[in-house]
Structure 1
Amino acid sequence: MPPDTATPRFPRSSPYWPVVTHPLLRRVLPGLAVSALGDGMALVAVTWLALQLAPHGQRGTWTAVAVAAYTLPSAAGTIAFGRRLAGRSGAQLAGWDAVLRAGALAAIPAAHLAGTLTIGLYVALLAASSLLHSWGSAGRYALIAELLPERDHLPANAVLGIMGQAATIAGPPLAGILIGAAGPVWVIALDALTFAVLALTYRLALPRGTRADPTEAVPSRTAGLGVIRQHRTLRGLLALTFGFFLLFGPFYVAMPVVVTEELHGSATTLGLYYTAFGAGSLLGGLVTGHLRRWPLWPTTIGIVVGFGAAMLPLGLDAPVGLSLPAFALAGLLWAPYTSTSMALFQRSTTGARLPQALAAYSAVIVLAVPLGTMLGGPLTATIGARHTLLLCAAATIALGVAAAALARLPRRPSPTGDDPTGVGPAPGRQPRPDDAVGAGTT
C-alpha cells in the first residue's frame, strides 16, 4: 500500500489527534485543564467557606445561597451583556469570563486578609464571578467552531468534557487535603490563580478577535433566544435538555436519603456511588470522540432514553451489586450529552449568531438542575426517596421517547427562510448527504 494511502496508526488515528495537535488549540488546552482542576477544587471550597462564615443556625441556608450564587447569576449576565458582547470572538468571550472569575475570586482572600470578609460579601463576590459564565462557556464552544472543521467539533467538545470530568474526580480530594492544610479561602485563591492563567493563555496564545461589522443592526438583549426560535431542532434541543437536567435534579435530594435510610449505608457508600458515576463519565467522555460518524440528533435522544433506563435500578430497590454498575453506566451515558448537543449548535449556526445562541442556551439550562433539586425536596417528602428516583427515571425515558416521536414528524418549510430541518447546512457550508439523517429523519 502506498505510504500516502496507508491507514494512520495510533495516536494519529485517534479522533482527538487533530484537536490536541491544532497549532492554536494546543496552546489553550493546558490553561483549560488547569482551570478545570481549579473549578473541581471549588466544588468543595465554596461550600466549606460558606459553612465557616455563616452565622450558627443559618449554615444550611447560606451554603445553598453560596452554591446558587456561584452559578445562577450567569443567566442574568446573558441578558444584561447581550448587546455589548454580541459579535465578539469565542476567545474574547471566554477570556473575559476568565478575567472576571479571576478578579472576583481573588477579592475573597484579599477581603479575608483585610478582615472584612463576611458571608454577605462572600456571596456577592461569588455572584459577580459568575456573571459572564454563560458567555464564557459559549465562547469555548464557539472557538472550536471557529478553528476546526465540522468533523472535529464532536471530539473537541469531548476534550472539554473529559477535562471537566477528570477535574470532578481529582479536584474534591485535592481540595480536602489543601483545606486541611491551609483553609478553604486559600483553595479559592488557588482557583482564582487558575483562571488568571487561563485568561493569560487566551490573551497570548490566540490572535485577537474582532467585533462584528458596526454597520450591522445592534442585536437585542435576547437575540440568542431569537436564533434558537428560528431552528426547530434547536428549539427541541433546548426543551429536551432542560427537561433532562430538570429530572436529574431530584437525584441530589433523593439519593442520599435512599443510601442512609433504605440501604442503611454511610457517607462512604454514597461516595462510592458518586465515584462510580464519575468513573463512568470519564470513560464516556473518552468514547465520545469516536461517535463523530453517528447521526447527532438520534444519538442525543438515545442518550436520554438510555440514561433513564440505567437509573431504573435505583428506583426499583435493586441490590447494590446491580444498582452500582447501573449508576456507572448512567455516568457513561451522561458524559457525551453536552458534546453532542453542542455539536448540534455548531452545525446549525455560525458567526456572531453562534455565541449568542450558545449563551442563551446555557442561561436557560443553568436553571434546570437547581429547579429540579428544589422539586426533589417536596417529592421525596411526599412519595418517598425511592419512588422519587423511579419517577424521575421513568419520566426521563418518556421524555426521550417523546422527543424521538416528534423528530419523526414531517417538517414544514420554515417561514423565516431557515433550513426546515433545523440542522441543515449553516451559512457558507455545503450540504452533506447525512444532514437529513443527523436531523433525525430517515
Structure 2
Amino acid sequence: MTPAMFLPYRPVLGQPVLRRLLPGLATSALGDGLALVAVTWLALQLAPAGQRGTWTAFAVAAYTLPGAAGTLLLGRWLGERSGAQLAGWDATVRAVALGAIPVAHLAGVLDVGLYVALLAVSSLLHPWGSAGRFTLVAELLPQRHHLAANALLGVFGQAATIVGPPLAGLLIAWVGAVWVIAVDAASFAVLAVSYRLVVPAVRRAGTVRHEDEGRHENPTAGPSRASGFRIIARDRSLLGLLSLSFAFFFLFGPFYVAMPVYVTDDLHASAATLAAYYTAFGVGSLLGGLLTGHLRRWPLRTTLAGIVALFGAALLPLGLGAPVVLSLPAFVLAGLVWAPYQPTATALFQRRAGTVDLPRVLSANGAVTVLAVPLGTMLGGPATALLGARPTLLACAVAILALGLVAATAAARPGAGSARPTGPQATGPHDPPGPPDQQGRASAPERRPDRRVGAAGAG
C-alpha cells in the first residue's frame, strides 16, 4: 500500500472530534469481530441437547433484528437527537446488556432464554446508533469528505472480520465464550465514554464550521416530524436507493445457506475451504474499503449500480462450478467491489437528506436493510433443497447482475433522481460537485443553510 492510497482520508483524520473517536470506534469494531464467533458458540453451549440449531438461530437473529423494531417504536423520542447522542446511547445500551451476560453467568442464572433476551436488548438501538455515527460525519465534515469518512468507518469493521474470528477462537479456548462476550461489552463501554467526552467538542466544531462556511443557525427551524420512512417515500431518489439496497442484500442472503452446502456436498471439501472463501472475501473487502475514498469524484448512483453488477459478475464463477483456483480469486474481487457499497449509499443519503432529517432517514434505511439478508437467508433453505447448492448460487449471481444492469439503466436515464430533495443540504437533480475549485471556494451545495449542523447535547 502506497501513501497515496491514504490521501483521501487525511481530512477525516485531521478533524479533531473524529480523531478522538477513532480509537473507540476501532475498539468496538474489534469487539464485534470477536462476537461473530462468541455469540453463536455461547448459544451452542447454553442450548439444550437437540435444540442447538434452533437456539443458535435465535441468538443470531436477536443480535441484529430487534433494531428494526427499535426504529419503528422509538422514532418519536430519538428522531430529533444529534448524531453523537444517538451513537453514544446505542453504545451504552450495548455495553450494559452485553455486560449483563457474564454477570448473570457469575450469579449462576444464565440460561439460553435469558441470553437471547439480553442479546435482543443489546441490538434495540443499533440502527439509531449507526444513523448517529454517519449523521455525526455529516455534522462535522463538508460533503466532499463524506465518502472517505464513511469508508474509513467501514474499514474498521472489515479489518475486524479478518482479525476478530481467529482471535475469538483463541480466547474461547483459553477463557470461554462468555468472557469473550464480556470483552465485547467492555469495547462498547469504551466507545460510549468516547462519545460522551466529545459531545461538547461536537457542539464547538459545528459552531466553527458554521462560521467558516457562512451559515446561520435558524433557532426556530426543527426537524421534520415525519418518520424516516415517510421522508424516504417522498423522495423518489431515496426510495429507489432503499429498494436497490434491499434487493441487493436480499439476493445475497441465500449464499449463507448454499455456500456451505456447495463446499461440503459438491466440492467434497473441508471447513478450511469454506474459511478460505470467507477470508478471501474479507481481504478483498478490506482493500476495497481503503480504495473507496478515491471514488469521491464518481457519480454516486452510477457507482452503486456498477458495484451491484460487478458483484454479481464476480460470483458467477462459483455458480458455474469453476475450480477453486479460479473461484477463490473471484471471491477476492467480490469483496473488493462489495466494500464501497455501504459508504457510497450512505453518502447519497447524507447529500439528499441533510443533517436535520438524516437520523430518521438512516435509521429507517438500517431497519429495512437489516431485514434483507435474514429474509434472503430464509429463502436460501428451500431454494437449495429444491434446486441444489450450485444452481442456487448461480441463480443469485445472475439475479444480482441483472439488478445492477437495471439500476445502471435507471441511473443513466435523463432526469434520474430529480425528485424534490428532503433536507436543507439536499442538492437538487444531480449529485453535487465534490471537491472545491482551484481557488479553494466551497461548492454551492455546501454553502446552503443548514438548520442544525453540529447541534449536540449531553442528553
Task: Tell me the TM-score normalized by structure 2.
Answer: 0.87
Question: Which of the residues 260, 275, 286 maps onto 2:290?
Answer: 286
Aligned counterpart, 1:199:
192
Question: Which of the residues 149, 164, 175 maps onto 1:156?
Answer: 149
Aligned counterpart, 1:361:
365
1:188 maps onto 2:202 in alignment: no
Question: Which of the residues 59, 63, 70 maps onto 2:56?
Answer: 63
Q: Secondary structure at the match of 1:206?
A: helix
**1:402-436 deviation line (CA, Å, top 9, x unaligned):** 112222334397578987637569xx98249xxxx
**1:51-74 deviation line (CA, Å, top 9, x unaligned):** 011111000000000000000000
In 1, the alpha carbon distance for the partners of 2:137 and 2:374 equals 28
What does 1:13-412 correspond to in 2, within 5 Å? 14-207=7-200, 223-411=227-415
Closer, same or farther in 2 for the Cα pair 1:213/1:105, shift >3 Å?
A: farther
In 1, the alpha carbon distance for the partners of 2:191 and 2:286 equals 23
Deviation at 1:213, TM superposition (A): 9.1
The answer (yes or no) to whether the contact 1:86–1:352 under 8 Å persists in 2 is no
Equivalent position amino acid for 1:421 in 2: P
Equivalent position amino acid for 2:318 in 1: L
Closer, same or farther in 2 for the Cα pair 1:201/1:416, shift >3 Å?
A: closer
The answer (yes or no) to whether the contact 1:304–1:400 under 8 Å persists in 2 is yes
1:421 maps onto 2:429 in alignment: yes
CA RMSD in angstroms comes to 2.4
In 2, the alpha carbon distance for the partners of 1:172 and 1:368 equals 24
Q: Secondary structure at the match of 2:355?
A: coil
Deviation at 1:35, TM superposition (A): 0.2
The answer (yes or no) to whether the contact 2:89–2:129 under 8 Å persists in 1 is yes
Equivalent position amino acid for 1:22 in 2: Q
**1:383-411 deviation line (CA, Å, top 9, x unaligned):** 11000000000000111111122223343
Deviation at 1:236, TM superposition (A): 0.8
Deviation at 1:297, TM superposition (A): 1.0
In 2, the alpha carbon distance for the partners of 1:84 and 1:112 equals 33
1:430 maps onto 2:444 in alignment: yes
Q: Secondary structure at the match of 1:366?
A: helix
**1:62-100 deviation line (CA, Å, top 9, x unaligned):** 000000000000000011110101221111100000000
Q: Secondary structure at the match of 2:188?
A: helix
In 2, the alpha carbon distance for the partners of 1:283 and 1:400 equals 22
Aligned counterpart, 1:439:
none
The answer (yes or no) to whether the contact 1:232–1:421 under 8 Å persists in 2 is no
**1:38-57 deviation line (CA, Å, top 9, x unaligned):** 00000111001100111110
Aligned counterpart, 2:455:
none
In 1, the alpha carbon distance for the partners of 2:393 and 2:222 equals 48
Closer, same or farther in 2 for the Cα pair 1:420/1:409, shift >3 Å?
A: farther
Deviation at 1:351, TM superposition (A): 2.5
Aligned counterpart, 1:435:
none
The answer (yes or no) to whether the contact 1:104–1:129 under 8 Å persists in 2 is yes
Q: Secondary structure at the match of 1:343?
A: helix
The answer (yes or no) to whether the contact 1:233–1:423 under 8 Å persists in 2 is no
Closer, same or farther in 2 for the Cα pair 1:429/1:81, shift >3 Å?
A: farther
In 1, the alpha carbon distance for the partners of 2:78 and 2:101 equals 27
Deviation at 1:315, TM superposition (A): 0.6
The answer (yes or no) to whether the contact 1:92–1:208 under 8 Å persists in 2 is no
In 2, the alpha carbon distance for the partners of 1:78 and 1:67 equals 19
**1:88-120 deviation line (CA, Å, top 9, x unaligned):** 111110000000000000111111111111111
Closer, same or farther in 2 for the Cα pair 1:232/1:185, shift >3 Å?
A: same
The answer (yes or no) to whether the contact 1:83–1:218 under 8 Å persists in 2 is no
Equivalent position amino acid for 2:429 in 1: T
**1:208-242 deviation line (CA, Å, top 9, x unaligned):** 778x999667855x611112112222111101010
Greater shift, 403-412 or 321-330, is seen at: 403-412
The answer (yes or no) to whether the contact 2:228–2:357 under 8 Å persists in 1 is yes
**1:283-323 deviation line (CA, Å, top 9, x unaligned):** 11111111111111101110000000000000101111110
In 1, the alpha carbon distance for the partners of 2:429 and 2:13 equals 32
The answer (yes or no) to whether the contact 2:253–2:380 under 8 Å persists in 1 is yes
The answer (yes or no) to whether the contact 2:162–2:282 under 8 Å persists in 1 is yes
In 2, the alpha carbon distance for the partners of 1:12 and 1:257 equals 38
Closer, same or farther in 2 for the Cα pair 1:422/1:49, shift >3 Å?
A: farther
Q: Secondary structure at the match of 1:349?
A: helix
Aligned counterpart, 1:440:
none
The share of aligned pairs that are identical, in percent, is 65
Equivalent position amino acid for 1:321 in 2: V
